[in-house]
Amino acid sequence: MIELRELGPEHADVLHRLLRISRTGFDGYLAEEVLGWSISRLVCLGDQIVGLIQVRKLDSEKAYGVLGTWLVPQVWGTGVNQAAKEAMLRLVFEERTDVDRVYFCIEEENVRSLRAAEKLRYVKKIGEEDVPCELVDDLRDVSGTQRRWYAIMRESFIRCG
C-alpha cells in the first residue's frame, strides 16, 4: 500500500540519489508549494521512498494543474504508479476546489507509461491543440521529442476514480 507524504528539506539528498533531482530543482519545488503553485508528495511504500509525484502550475484563474510522476525502476509495473496518481488526484481535487482539470504528458517512446496511462478509466487522451499553449510551450524542446497529452477532469475522476 502506498502512502503520500509531505516533502521537506530533509528529503533533498534521498531524492537526488534515487531520482537525480538537483538541489536547485528540489528547492524550487518547496518554494512553489509555499506559494500555492504546486503540491508535491513523496511516494512511499512502508518507510521506503520510491518516488515523487507533483501537480504543478496550479492556476486558480485557469482552473488547471500539471501532473508529474517519477518512480524508481524497482516499482515499475507493480501498480504503484496508478495508486500514487489516484491518491494525488484525490488530494488535489479535495484541497484545491478551484482546479477542474489536470493535464499530463508522456514522451512517445515511453511505451510502458503510455500503456499504464491508457488503463486509467478517468484519463482522456487529448491532442496537443486541446492543451493550453503555455503548457505545451514549457515542454517544447529543440530535440523534437514527441509527447502524448492527457487530461483528467474533476467530474470524471470523482465518477470513475
Identify the band that residue 160 occupies on the pLDDT scale cut at 50, 70 and 90.
Answer: confident
* Residue type, position 64, single letter: Y
Q: State residue 139's pLDDT score.
A: 77
Identify the band that residue 19 occupies on the pLDDT scale cut at 50, 70 and 90.
Answer: very high
Please compute the mean of the pLDDT values over residues 48-73 and round it to a whole number.
Answer: 96
pTM for the structure as a whole: 0.93
Q: DSSP 3-state assignment of 27?
A: helix
Q: Is residue 142 predicted with pLDDT exceeding 60?
A: no
Tell me if 50 sits within 8 A of 43, measured CB to CB: yes
Residue 79 φ then ψ, to 5°: 95, -5
Q: State residue 41's pLDDT score.
A: 98
The cell numbers describing 151, all together, are 487530461
Residue 3 φ then ψ, to 5°: -140, 140
**Looking at the domain 2-160, which fold is it?**
Aminopeptidase (3.40.630)
